[in-house]
């Protein structure tokens, strides 16, 4: 089964909760190659706190950056440069859920973007979409750039408050499959994540 790269149409659209749900549903391994900021409560630690199964392995980040900003800028503050050649898939016999940083066009260094990393890792993409003013534009632009690179797009997951008009247009225009929906949750727990297992277990 192909590894899954979870990306979003922007920052804070729900990549981490979707990554946790997919990791639990598939009992896959989890890996966030680049963590920028919030190192004491990293996305890896957040996902780990939401997983119930004992099969999942959490692989360490290749880069841990101190500042919560674009990876290329955060790396510069830390006095390093991200070398995409050093970001290699961790060894595992399990399927792997990979969580990106921000959206597709987020720079890792002066030459490489997140989408370049996706191409390098040869993973299928799940695009997380949250509804807000401008989200149709951001979603369709993300889909177009993925298609232009020949990246396999497995489908979209809508996160948060439903907007039928926006969602139906995105699916109709793009021809993509809606893999599922994650509701808005004020508190995230292991039980919340487990409740989605059946919905996403066949991905």
CB atoms under 10 Å from CB of 7, counted, come to 29
Q: Are 153 and 178 contacting, i.e. CB atoms less than 8 angstroms apart?
A: no
Alpha carbons 105 and 62: distance in angstroms, whole number:
19
Residue from 2, 32, 120, 162 carrying the catalytic annotation: 32
Alpha carbons 107 and 173: distance in angstroms, whole number:
28
Concerning whether 184 is annotated as a catalytic residue, the answer is no
Burial of 78 (0-12, 13-18, 19+ CB in 10 A): middle
Q: Are 149 and 7 contacting, i.e. CB atoms less than 8 angstroms apart?
A: no
Alpha carbons 37 and 158: distance in angstroms, whole number:
26
Q: Tell me the backbone φ, ψ of residue 81, rounded to 5 degrees.
A: -130, 130
Beta-bridge partner residues of 119: none
Catalytic residues, by residue number, are 32
């Amino acid at each position: 089964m192909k590894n899954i790269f979870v990306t979003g149409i922007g920052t804070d659209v729900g990549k981490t909760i979707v990554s946790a749900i997919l990791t639990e549903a598939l009992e896959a391994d989890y890996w966030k190659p680049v963590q920028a900021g919030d190192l004491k409560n990293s996305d890896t630690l957040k996902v780990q706190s939401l997983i119930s199964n004992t099969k999942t392995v959490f692989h360490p980040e290749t880069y841990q950056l101190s500042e919560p900003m674009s990876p290329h800028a955060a790396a510069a503050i830390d006095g390093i440069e991200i070398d995409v050649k050093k970001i290699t898939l961790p060894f595992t016999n399990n399927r792997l859920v990979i969580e990106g940083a921000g959206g597709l066009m987020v720079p890792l260094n002066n030459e490489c973007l997140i989408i370049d990393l996706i191409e390098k890792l040869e993973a299928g993409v799940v695009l997380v979409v949250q509804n807000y003013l401008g989200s149709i534009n951001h979603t369709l632009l993300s889909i177009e750039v993925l298609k232009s690179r020949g990246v396999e797009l497995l489908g979209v997951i809508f996160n948060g408050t439903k907007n039928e008009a926006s969602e139906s247009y995105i699916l109709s225009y793009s021809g993509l499959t809606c893999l599922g929906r994650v509701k808005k949750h004020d508190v995230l727990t292991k039980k919340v994540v487990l409740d989605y297992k059946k919905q996403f277990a066949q991905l």
